[in-house]
Amino acid sequence: MGSTFTVINPSTATAIREVPRHSVEEVDAIIAKAARAFETWRTVAPGDRARLLRRFAAVVDEHNEELARLEVENSGHTIGNARWEAGNVRDVLNYYSAAPERLFGRQIPVANGLDVTFKEPLGVIGIIVPWNFPMPIAGWGFGPALAAGNTVVLKPAEITPLTALRLGELALEAGIPEGVFNIVTGSGSVVGERFVTHPLVRKLVFTGSTDVGKGIMRGAADQVKPVTLELGGKSANIIFADSDLERAAATAPYGVFDNAGQDCCARSRILVQASVFDRFMERFEVAVKGVRVEDPSLDTSEMGPLITRAHHEHVASFLDGANVAFRGVKPEGPGFWMEPHVLIAESNDRCFTEEIFGPVVSVMRFEDEADAIRIANDSIYGLSGSIWTNDLGRAVRVARAVESGNLSVNSHSSVRYWTPFGGYKQSGLGRELGPDALDAFTETKNVFFDTQH
């Protein structure tokens, strides 16, 4: 059989396990199996499909601690985050388990007959997941996909496959039939690419970098295959002089350094109104130095290591010659550790325009509301962002003016499984989660029944 890939613990730089690298032939066999399973899964009675998804959610919940520990080991996530992530898979499954009995079509008035629309599943859905949030991002795809009656082939990132593999086992344990939910390990260039080119994969859900996402979209065009894309970000945290500056400064580190900054929603540009810049920076420095960067398996840990040595080098390249205002702390020893960094940036600096995907934030002054909006929108990305102000009118104006899919006012929250998530501009295409995500996993069929003959 084919080769294997060595999975590494990023906190200790030690090997954990060998995972298969599937060949194109093996991928084709799994896709064929998923296509066969579709023929029966789509006919499972709505109430039964709902019950199976709720059982899957319950089994995930029973294994929350195991899944969380596995993510700490494979991805260096803090245990607190990892428990939330496994809980998010459960919640997404429960939320979409309400869908099978509610996939309503419409009855539309017509002469001489009956016109009805049906929401029909597409077939095999190919889900390609990045390494930064292996569990939630997988679940945002497979939860609604399965609920709508599709079958799934899921490719985790090669370096973080362990929780996806376990979720595949738990699905079977919960009674999800063989072939309905398939985990396919291996590289993007082999497994991911085959999802794009295989005609039986009827839709792609891709989360990852903008460059790879563009390639997926180009490839999908060949078969007019629909895509949902969740791509990069360079989100702004906009802090106005009239905000609660203490809270804005105390929370800003967690808006960017969560998951060591390896978060597509990281508020990696902080825009501060000039009149409060110095006051903000004083308080922000205290907060950054207080971030607990330590062994992610400790309950007190707030930030773990970066994912790989190569990624550490990539992030460090942004620090060469940068104007560093101050740094946080990091532990000594092996592992791909980096302390939080705060940079003072000019608008054309690489650190201010490119997604760094590490614990590096760039701060810039702005003069007034129009200036803040202009700087925030001066980006190819538009995923997330925060606005800090106590002026209600300003909050509404700025929230409407910032070109971004997910904004929070006086907080840094981006993701709730029951609200839509996705990006403007080059941050993505389509929306996941929330009440409308099922539309991305169904085709609308219109049927006219002639009643005259």
Q: Where do contacts with ligand NAP occur on this chain (CB under 6 A)?
A: 128-133, 137, 155, 157-158, 187-189, 192-193, 196, 207-209, 212, 215-216, 230-233, 264, 355, 357, 383, 423, 427-428
Secondary structure percentages of the chain, helix, strand, coil, to 5: 40, 20, 40
Nearest approach, Cβ of residue 327 and ligand NAP (Å): 23
Comparing CB distances to ligand NAP, the nearer of 149 and 213 is: 213
Nearest approach, Cβ of residue 419 and ligand NAP (Å): 14
Distances (CA, A) of 199 to 24, 125, 182, 228, 279: 14, 11, 17, 17, 58
Residue 307 near residue 10 (C-beta atoms within 8 A): yes
Nearest approach, Cβ of residue 323 and ligand NAP (Å): 24
Spatial separation of the C-alpha atoms in residues 329 and 338, rounded to whole Å: 8
Q: Helices in 178-270 by DSSP H: which ranges?
A: 193-197, 210-221, 245-256
H/E stretch holding 151: strand 151-155
Counts for the chain of helices (H) and strands (E), in that order? 14, 20
Comparing CB distances to ligand NAP, the nearer of 150 and 427 is: 427
Residue with tokens 């499984």: 417
Comparing CB distances to ligand NAP, the nearer of 216 and 395 is: 216
The secondary structure of residue 176, as a DSSP letter, is: P
Residue 138 near residue 164 (C-beta atoms within 8 A): yes
Nearest approach, Cβ of residue 425 and ligand NAP (Å): 12
Is 264 tagged catalytic? yes
Spatial separation of the C-alpha atoms in residues 312 and 380, rounded to whole Å: 24
Closest by CA position to 10, among listed 335, 328, 244, 329: 335
Nearest approach, Cβ of residue 140 and ligand NAP (Å): 8
Residue with tokens 């840990």: 301
Exactly one of 264, 294, 355, 432 is catalytic; name it: 264
Comparing CB distances to ligand NAP, the nearer of 193 and 295 is: 193
CA distance between the termini of the chain: 60
H/E stretch holding 315: helix 309-316
Comparing CB distances to ligand NAP, the nearer of 73 and 230 is: 230
Nearest approach, Cβ of residue 393 and ligand NAP (Å): 30
- Give per-residue burial for 306-328: e unless 16+ CB within 10 Å, then b: bbbeebbeebeebbeebeebebb
Token couple for 95:
């939320």
Residues 6 or more apart whose CB falls under 8 angstroms from that of 278 comprise none
Classify 156 as helix, strand or coil: coil
Nearest approach, Cβ of residue 201 and ligand NAP (Å): 11
Spatial separation of the C-alpha atoms in residues 281 and 453, rounded to whole Å: 78
Nearest approach, Cβ of residue 139 and ligand NAP (Å): 12
Comparing CB distances to ligand NAP, the nearer of 254 and 424 is: 424
Exactly one of 71, 230, 294, 302 is catalytic; name it: 230
Q: Which residues are catalytic?
A: 230, 264
